[in-house]
Structures are given as C-alpha cells and as structure tokens.
Structure 1
Amino acid sequence: MTIDTPKEGMWVLGYGSLIWKPPPHYTFRLQGYLTGFIRRFYMQSRDHRGTPANPGRVVTLVSHKDLIKKRNEYIDHLIGHEIPLSEQEVPIPHDALKVWCVAYYIPSEKVAEVKEYLDIREQDGYSTHQVEFHISPEHNKCSSKEEEDVVSVLPVHPKTNHKYLTSMIYLGTLDNEAYIGPENIMDTALVIRTSVGDSGKNIEYLIELTKLMRQFHPDTYLEELLRIVES
C-alpha cells in the first residue's frame, strides 16, 4: 500500500552509494530496514566504479523470491546464512533477510529534478520498484515539525510493530545484463581491489558504505568483503 505524504513528496531508499552520497534536496532521512532481501555486490559497474572493458562491482538487493527461483545457483553461496530457500512465507523480521538502509524524503517541488538526477545516476542496470520500508524507532528522532507530521500519519506494520512506508527503490534485477551474481566473495574482492571508474576507486565505494553502516547497524557481508579486500 502506497502512503500519501503531505504535499505529495517522494520517498527514495538508499542501500548502497545513496547511503553515503545522498540525493540532492532531501529534507530529512529515516533509518530502518527492508525484509525479504539480501545486499550483495552483484552488479557490474561500467561507468562509476569501473569501465566497459573492466567493470567494477556495486551493490543491489536480491529478493527472497529470486533466491528461491535460482536456488541451485545460490544454495552453496548462502550456506551458513540460514536463509530459507522454500516457497513458504518468510518470517518477518528474519535476520538473514533484513537489509538496513535509509529513506530520504524529497519535497514535492523537487521530485521531478531529483528523479531525473537519480535516473541518470542509476542508469547502468537499475530500474525502479516499490518496497515496504520499516522505520527503526531506536535510530530515529524527529528533528523538525515537517518530519514529525510525515511520520505521524504512517501506519504500524502488523508483523514488525514498527511504522512503515512504501518507497521507491532502484534495484539491479536478475534479468538485466549488468547483473553478475552469484559471485564468489573472493572473486568480488579481487575486482573491487583493482577497479577504477569515473567516480573513483571501487574500494572507496565499499569502504564508505561499510563505514556508514557501522554507525547504526553493521552488515556482516560488507565487513567480510572489506576484510578480504584489505588483506
């Protein structure tokens, strides 16, 4: 269910570079999580963090539905993560299928401009989708009357007991040519260690994302990948 916010502003989620390099013109951001996804460096970057000849790696989210669909490809890689690869409903929240991220609120007068900016920024393999974002009460304190008004009208999710909203998100899905997963973490680390694109070194992307995640909820996959890259 899409939530209508005052003045018809726009929510957009950041789970990768948008966490540490946010979109312009946002008035506030909320910290929280998605359920039913894992975050992985499974997207080739042929512009920002690599080149067409030597693509780097950037993150996308893989849904539980897609994990089930490609279970034979993913099962070895996901052993130890306790991710249920069955058709049964995923318990919410499920720690192995919970991605911590941020939601940015864009005021109505800036929606068109920001959407155009993001469409260009995310053009290499990403498409827009709608997802439910659960707000973490322990990580958020309203800093303005506008923020308080927006959050106050949001419903409470019956399974998480947290307020939630429906937001736009850019995802690199399995059916686009830039999608590279599943990839062995050692192979991913080697690519990140050596790749450079128009936006800089690939390792910078990983470092900045991992560092920002540590501020409110460390990601074990990011931490392990960074450890390997820096070793």
Structure 2
Amino acid sequence: MVYWVFGYGSLIFKPPPHAVEQRSGYVKGVVRRFAQSSNDHRGTPESPGRVVTVIEAREWHRLEGITLAAGTTLPDDYVWGMAYRIDPDKEDEVREYMEFREKNGYTCHEVPVYGISPDGKEEQIVVENSTIWVGKLDNPAFVGYEPTDVLAKTIAERSGPSGPNKEYLYKLAESVRHLYPHVKDDYLFNLERGRCAGQLIATADADA
C-alpha cells in the first residue's frame, strides 16, 4: 500500500521528509482548531503553547454549545491541507519520524482526501487512503474550547524548541491563504488578525 500523510498544520509549510508527491485536498466532517497543548514544540512543560488538531465537527460544536441534528454538519465543516506521498523505500523511516513528531497526544487514523475536479464542477477523491494525525478529545494534551482572547494571549506569550507559538499561527495562516485562496477559514484568519490581533501585536511590540 502506498503511504500518504495528510498535513493540516505545520506539515503544510514544513513537509515530512522523503515526500515524492503532494496533492492539495480536504478532509470532510472535521474542523481545525488550536485545541492541543504543546509542551515539546511551541511551548514547554511549564508553559505549554497551543497547536492545531482536527476534531470531529459535531464533537467540537457540542463543546461550543451548538447542538446539531443527527447526520448534519455546518457548511465549513471540512479542513484543507496537503497530502504527501512518501518514497516507498523510506516508509519505515518516515513512520518512525511521524510517531516521534506527533508523540504529544496525537494518534494516527486513515481517511480519504477529497478535491475538486479540474473544471471546478465536481468533488472527487484525490487520495483514497491517507494517514492523518489527530488529537482526540480524550488525549491528555487536549485543552478543548478556549475564549479567543485567552487563546490569543497564550499563543502570543508561549515559545518552545520549535520557535515562538505566534510564528506557528502566522505561518499556518499565511500558508492556507496562499495555497487555498478560495478557502474561507474564519476561525484561523480571525485568530490571526481579528479579535486577537491587538494581543499578538502588543506582545510583539513588547519583545522588540
């Protein structure tokens, strides 16, 4: 079986090693949220940062206090990202790399990745089976829903071995905007520049 890895966070702007092909696409029925604590990349055990995970949309809406009828989703309940095909000769190496990289609360799952036909008229499957790393609600690093101002303050202040937490946010938002200009990701872009902009800018100015 061909080994594909789907990236929806930092893998978008920092691909896994030994990727020999990449395809843009989206996973359905999920949302991307800064709901995972990071004590090994964008924070420390004493001051953990926040990184994204994908969460089943219905589960997240329930945390927000939104109840949906069975089998229904909202229009924006999908996540665009990048699927990478790994060199077969390096599959074991990359699997080990991903296991270590995502060790802080993530588990791997298999999903289809969808895309739009070249004429823009039809949905199609671009990768039938791709590995995605998910921070489930019951994992110890899951922090759940946080008010935007609280989340923004955490992102603005935290830093870890991989760099400042706010750098992660900015790179992710810029990558999504550049690669998928047609995508409306209000959550991500509002966190980048909207209600939280004052908090992030104020912290950046204080660091200068």
Whether the 8 Å contact between 1:33 and 1:136 is mirrored in structure 2 is no
TM superposition shift of 1:124 = 0.5
> In structure 1, what is the Cα distance between the partners aligned to 2:184 and 2:17?
25
Structure 1 residues 218, 22: CA separation in 2 closer, same or farther (over 3 Å shift)? Answer: farther
Corresponding position of 1:172: 135
Q: Deviation string for 1:8-56 (max 9, x for gaps)?
A: 3201100001001110000011001111011100000001000111100
Asked if 1:117 corresponds to 2:97, the answer is yes
> For 1:119, what is the secondary structure of its paired residue?
helix
Letter paired with 2:109? H
**2:20 corresponds to which residue?**
27
| TM-score with structure 1 setting the length | 0.77
Which residue identity lines up with residue 110 of structure 2 in the other structure?
Answer: Q
Find out whether 1:210 has 2:176 as its counterpart: no
Structure 2 CA distance for aligned equivalents of residues 54 and 172 of structure 1: 19
- Find the partner of 2:124 among 157, 162, 180: 162
Q: 1:54 corresponds to which residue?
A: 47
Matching residue of 1:104: 84
Structure-2 separation of matches of 1:218 and 1:87? 25
Write the mapping of 1:57-206 to structure 2, written as runs, cut at 5 A: 57-67=50-60, 71=62, 73-75=63-65, 85-90=68-73, 95-138=75-118, 161-164=123-126, 165-206=128-169
- Other structure's SS at 2:19 match: coil
Number of aligned residue pairs: give it.
192
Which structure 1 residue ranges, 5 or more long, are not aligned?
1-7, 79-83, 140-159
Query: How many Å apart are 1:117 and its aligned residue?
Result: 0.6
CA deviation profile, 1:197-218 (whole Å, cap 9, x unmatched): 0111001100110000001135
2-structure distance, mates of 1:210, 1:120: 25
Partner of 2:191: 225
Q: Alpha carbons of 1:20 and 1:219: their partners in 2 closer, same or farther (altered >3 Å)? A: same
Q: Give % identity.
A: 39
After TM superposition, where is structure 1 displaced by more than 2 Å over at least 4 residues in a row? Answer: 64-68, 135-139
1:219 shift after superposition? 2.2
Q: Which has the higher strand share?
A: 2
CA distance in 2, matches of 1:203, 1:112: 32
CA distance in 2, matches of 1:138, 1:38: 25
Aligned 8 A contact 2:43 2:50 in 1: yes
Aligned 1:5-16 pairs, distance under 5 A: 8-16=1-9
Q: Secondary structure at the match of 1:61?
A: strand
Q: For residues 19 and 137 of structure 1, what CA distance do their matches in structure 2 show?
A: 21
How big is each residue's C-alpha offset from its partner over 1:69-112, in whole Å with a ceiling of 9 and x where there is no partner? xx2x322xx6xxxxx6221244xxx5320111110001211110
Q: CA deviation at 1:182?
A: 1.1
List gaps (5 residues or longer) in structure 2: 202-208
RMSD: 2.0
2-structure distance, mates of 1:132, 1:85 = 24
Alignment check: 8 A CA contact 1:13 1:104 kept:
yes
Match of residue 145 from structure 1: none
